Amino acid sequence: MFSVIRLYLIALMVTTVQAWAAEIIVIDYIKVAKPTRPLLSNLDPIPDDLGIQGAAVAIDDNNTTGKFMGLTYELNVIELDPEQLSTISPTLQSNGLLIADAVAKDLLQLADADKNQTVFNVSAKDSVLRDTNCRANVLHTIPSTQMETDALFQFLKQRKWDELALVYGNFEDDLAYREALHRSAKKYRLDIDEERAWIFDADLRRTAGAELPVFTQQLDEYDVLLVADVAGDFDRYIHFNTWLPRPLAGTEGLEPKAWADVVEQWGAAQLQSRFEDKASRDMRSEDYAAWLAVRSIGEATLRSKARTASEVRDYLLSSEFTMAGFKGRKLSYRHWNGQMRQPIPLVHAHAVTANAPLPGYLHQRNELDSLGIDEPESKCGAFK
Partner 1 sequence: MKSLIIGMCFMASASIADEIWVSNEKDNTISVIDVETLEVTRTLEVGERPRGITFSQDYSTLYLCASDSDAVQVIDPESGKILHDLPSGEDPEQFILHPDNRRLYIANEDDAITTVVDTETRRVIAQIDVGVEPEGMAVSPDGSMVITTSETTNMAHWIDTETHEIFANSLVGQRPRHAEFTSDGKTLWVSGEIGGDIVLFNVEDQTQIGQVTFEIKGIHPDMIQPVGFKLTPDDQYAFVALGPSNHLAVVNATTLEVEDYILVGRRVWHMAFNRDKRLLFTTNGISGDVTVVDVEKRKAIKTIKVGRYPWGAALRIKD
Residues that bind partner 1 (CB under 8 A): 16, 61, 64-65, 67-69, 267, 270-271, 273-274, 302-303, 322-324, 328-330, 366-368
Of 194 and 264, nearer to partner 1 (C-beta) is 264
Look up residue 323 and give its amino acid: M
- Cβ(226)–Cβ(198) below 8 Å: no
Q: Which of 228, 273, 233 is nearest to 255 (CA)?
A: 228
Report, in Å, the least distance between residue 331 CB and partner 1. Answer: 9
Report, in Å, the least distance between residue 292 CB and partner 1. Answer: 12
Report, in Å, the least distance between residue 360 CB and partner 1. Answer: 11
Of 249 and 371, nearer to partner 1 (C-beta) is 371
- List residues bridging with 77 in a β-sheet: 8, 29
Strands 344-347 and 255-256: antiparallel
Report, in Å, the least distance between residue 323 CB and partner 1. Answer: 6
Of 108 and 323, nearer to partner 1 (C-beta) is 323
Of 197 and 302, nearer to partner 1 (C-beta) is 302
Beta strands in the chain (DSSP E): 6-11, 23-32, 71-80, 97-101, 118-121, 138-140, 163-168, 191-197, 224-228, 248-250, 255-256, 323-324, 330-333, 340-341, 344-347, 352-356
Q: Tell me which DSSP letter residue 339 carries.
A: B
CA distance linking residue 243 with residue 40, whole number of Å: 22
On the 0-12 / 13-18 / 19+ scale of CB atoms within 10 A, 162 is middle
Of 310 and 366, nearer to partner 1 (C-beta) is 366
Report, in Å, the least distance between residue 324 CB and partner 1. Answer: 4
Beta strands in 33-146 (DSSP E): 71-80, 97-101, 118-121, 138-140
Of 238 and 271, nearer to partner 1 (C-beta) is 271
Hey, CA dihedral for 93, 334, 341, 36, is it positive or negative?
Answer: positive
Report, in Å, the least distance between residue 61 CB and partner 1. Answer: 5
Report, in Å, the least distance between residue 204 CB and partner 1. Answer: 40
Of 39 and 352, nearer to partner 1 (C-beta) is 352
